[in-house]
Structure 1
Amino acid sequence: MTIEATILKNVEKLPDSVKQAVLLYTEFLVSQYANGKPEEAQEKPKKKRFAGSMKGTFVLPLPDDFDEPLEDFKDYM
């Protein structure tokens, strides 16, 4: 079954009020596509991140024993 046939089959099952909403939505999609501005093209390209870009942003006072094993895990070591 083609996608068009599946869509039509599903739309036939809907009440008239929902069919009206489907019509409005499909007209919106067609107008967006006809204007050459589909939603995918409107998204801004994501900026590429690079390693070390946050260096120096988070400065926390770390305790002196930060690298020492935790007491809770001594049974497993």
Structure 2
Amino acid sequence: MDEREELLAAACEENSLSMEELNEQYGPESFGNHEAVDRIYVTEATWSEHIASHPAILLDAEAYQMAVKVSEMMAELYNRMSAKD
């Protein structure tokens, strides 16, 4: 069992749901998916505003490039998950 499968099993147990029920509540076109998309948006906006543009990050070219990569990955995740809404 890989880490993702372990986390899925824990999510089922924590929410007292079967895998099918978990998919119904959090899968494509569900409120749970919409909630995840919203959380990604809020996190990326916070990241960009408070981390990626922080003067300490801007002063360190390598740190800035890392922060930009994180922003880009969050944008990709947002686009992937919002396509399921």
Q: Which protein is richer in helix relative to its size?
A: 2
Q: Larger Cα Rg: Structure 1 or Structure 2?
A: 1
TM-score under structure 1 length normalisation: 0.34
